[in-house]
Amino acid sequence: MQGLVLVDKPAGPSSFAVVRQLRSRFGVKAGHAGTLDPLASGLLLVLLGPATRLARYLVGLDKRYETEIRLGLRTTTGDGEGEVVEETPIPPLEEIEALEGEIELRVPQASAVKIEGERAYKLQRRGVAVEMPTRRSTIHELRVARYEPPLVALDLMVSSGTYVRAIADHLGGHCRTIRRTAVGPFRVEEADEERVLAPLAALVSLPERGLNDDEALSIRQGRPIPGDVKGPVALHFAGHLVAVAQGDGRMLKPETVLPAA
């Protein structure tokens, strides 16, 4: 048993709690490819069995979110669970719509980022104040779905590692709801906890190359094969993912090899 499960996580449980449930259900190790904070709902990518090794190729995918922001009130956490720390002017629609491109944002304390080995949201719940780092993010797309001050609803496509709470804080407000609707090519409408996608289907964002018998044997033995692709490439044989290799334009060197099906 190995592959990818698309989960529509409800608000409340942690990503680890969802992973633990799937680990118990399928009886194999499991791990997610990009966490969702407990407050947030939406698409969570969970890898099962040996396919957990593929997480590195999924965590950097762009994400799409829907969020409702309460403008005019900043909170300690960037969401409604925190204490109000500041009243701010409500930005006009034009200012919100212009918020695209690269931007420096402070990571909210209610996030799942680790501070000295512990999740920030756990420290926040215990009342531990910490200095949160800043992170450069890219807002690829921003669409205002509804502007009814002091509320605004946004549809966002952002780079991996972008915190929606930080965007709300940048606008002088805080998030009331956060929902992740897409991760790379995967959509929340496709979520089904009972369906396990094959490892090759988990890597649809990578270029692919089929192998012959000799090439498949070489790759499984850790030996490179000729190939003109640069960057990661999914190598498959008889419809099954054999490995992910790194190409330098001349050779494909196996980087992550899966056990034979």
Q: What pLDDT, in 10s, does the model give residues 148-174?
A: 999 999 999 999 989 899 999 999 999
- The pLDDT of residue 180: 98
Helix, coil or strand: residue 20:
helix
Residue range 3-61+185-201 forms a domain whose CATH class is alpha beta
For the chain, domain boundaries: 3-61+185-201, 63-183, 206-257
pLDDT tens track for 200-226: 999 999 999 999 999 999 999 999 999
Residues (pLDDT < 70) of the chain are 109-113, 115-116, 119-121, 123-133, 261
- The pLDDT of residue 123: 63
- The pLDDT of residue 194: 93
* Per CATH, domain 63-183 is 3.30.2350.10: yes
- Rounded Cα–Cα distance for residues 66 and 63 (Å): 10
- The pLDDT of residue 39: 87
Q: Do domains 63-183 and 206-257 have the same CATH topology?
A: no
Nearest to 235, CA basis, from 214, 252, 259: 252
- Rounded Cα–Cα distance for residues 96 and 171 (Å): 7
- The pLDDT of residue 126: 63
- The pLDDT of residue 81: 82
Nearest to 102, CA basis, from 61, 162, 169, 165: 162
- The pLDDT of residue 112: 61
- The pLDDT of residue 127: 66
Superfamily for the 206-257 domain: PUA domain (2.30.130.10)
Nearest to 96, CA basis, from 64, 143, 165: 143
Say whether pTM exceeds 0.85. Answer: yes
- The pLDDT of residue 30: 96
| Residues with a known catalytic role | 37
- The pLDDT of residue 116: 61
Nearest to 107, CA basis, from 182, 169, 33: 169
